């Protein structure tokens, strides 16, 4: 069974966005994420931010990139739920770390936090409905 057939066969809440909508949202968010990650990396490299400021960004990137292989490769809903909770927590951490020194970078994470909050509730709902 293909990953799309598997995903379509899952029980999902009525408010689940179409896969195309999800793809469009990510295509808007990824450039913002790339730019803010690059900004933080440059600031750390120039010693304007401590290296620990990059930790939540690195963890977020890793957990974000792992979600798709976990969800659609392994088809492991509980592990994907744990992963998306890490994504969500690291966004909050990123905002907290950068709010004082670079509020615009922190504020740039707000759309990402809003989407991942929605995606987290969706993922947890799907996991619960398919237990």
User: What's the mean per-residue pLDDT of the chain?
Assistant: 97
The model's pLDDT over 61-89, given as tens digits with 9 standing for 90+, comes to 999 999 999 999 999 999 999 999 999 99
**Are 131 and 95 in contact, with CB atoms under 8 Å apart?**
no
Rounded mean pLDDT, 34-62 = 96
Check if the beta carbon of residue 79 is closer than 8 Å to that of residue 68. no
Q: What is the pLDDT of residue 37?
A: 95
- What single DSSP character describes residue 76? -
CB-neighbour burial class of residue 59 (10 A; exposed 0-12, middle 13-18, buried 19+) = middle
| Burial annotation 1-15 (CB, 10 A radius, 16+ → b, else e) | eeeeeebeeeeeeee
What is the model's pTM?
Answer: 0.94
Per-residue pLDDT at 55 = 97
């Amino acid at each position: 069974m293909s990953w799309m057939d598997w995903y379509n066969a899952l029980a999902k809440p009525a408010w689940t966005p179409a896969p195309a909508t999800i793809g469009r949202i990510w295509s808007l968010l990824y450039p913002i994420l790339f730019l803010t990650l690059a900004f933080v990396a440059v600031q750390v490299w120039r010693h304007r931010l401590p290296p620990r400021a990059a930790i939540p960004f690195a963890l977020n990137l890793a957990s974000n990139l792992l979600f798709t292989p976990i969800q659609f490769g392994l088809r492991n809903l509980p592990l994907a739920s744990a992963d998306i909770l890490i994504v969500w927590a690291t966004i909050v951490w990123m905002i907290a770390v950068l709010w004082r020194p670079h509020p615009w970078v922190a504020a740039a994470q707000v759309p990402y936090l809003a989407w991942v909050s929605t995606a987290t509730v969706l993922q947890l709902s799907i996991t619960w409905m398919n237990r």
